[in-house]
Amino acid sequence: MTQNKLSYDELSNILSQEKIVVDASEIHGIICGMLAGGMTVDDQSWIEALEDVINQGDKFSALVKKNVIEMYNQVCQEFIEPDFALALCLPDDSTPINDRGQALIVWVQGFLLGFGLHQADLTACSDDVKEALEDFSQISRMDEDMTEGEENEQALFEVVEYVRISAMLSFNELGKSLLDSRQSNKSVMH
């Protein structure tokens, strides 16, 4: 399944061609946030919620919908893999550092939006998840330019890793696993 994964650039280009003003990192962040916030993977209303949020309620074209569904399926798979497989949809390392940093900020903003759509009650969250969400809120407001260099590359790498691990922590704590939702469907069917 991984070999079919669209890159950040490929999906962002499709979105741009279809006159959708967000990029792939924001959509990926929203999807991750919805799942980490407790949306069941069988909840098919997520696509309409995404259309409302990023396309002013207009339906996605068939091409956009196909690619967004593929991204959703990939995220579901990565979240349930036992080896912390989630890969954030960000520009590749050859992209200027400021563009990668901006894409991370947009991803985090998307995550917070998606999370908020499905998890209003943070009192049930662990301190680790609350702290991660607070950190995400701070990351989402960052706006300093970074200069190219090994030190900033390392700093960006560490923030990306922190965000990635925190998203998986949130999903593991609050998200509904594929197995749970499939098993509950089986019990309903009998």
Query: What pLDDT does residue 189 have?
Result: 36
Structure confidence at residue 177 as a pLDDT band (50, 70, 90): low
Burial group, residue 138, by CB count within 10 angstroms (0-12, 13-18, 19+): exposed
Mean pLDDT of 62-70: 93
Instruction: Identify residue 92 by its one-letter amino acid code.
Output: D
162 versus 19: the higher-pLDDT residue is 162
Per-residue pLDDT at 184 exceeds 70: no
What whole-number percentage of the chain has pLDDT above 70?
89
Output the pLDDT for position 180. 55
User: In the chain, what percentage of residues exceed pLDDT 90?
Assistant: 54
Give the tens place of pLDDT for each residue, 142-174.
887 888 889 999 999 999 999 999 999 999 888
Burial environment of residue 179 by CB neighbours within 10 A (0 to 12, 13 to 18, 19 or more) = exposed
Choose among 77, 53, 58: nearest CA to 4. Answer: 77
User: Which pLDDT score is estimated for 4?
Assistant: 57
- Taking only the tens place, the pLDDT of each residue in 76-103 is 889 888 787 899 999 999 999 999 999 9
Q: Is 57 left (phi over 0), alpha (psi -120 to 50) or beta?
A: left
The SS3 call for residue 35 is helix
Phi then psi dihedrals of residue 24, to 5 deg = -60, -35
Measure the CA–CA gap between 15 and 31, rounded to whole angstroms: 16
* More confident of the two residues 61 and 177: 61
Ordered by where they begin, the domains of the chain are 2-177 (1.20.120.740)
* pLDDT at 187 > cutoff 70: no
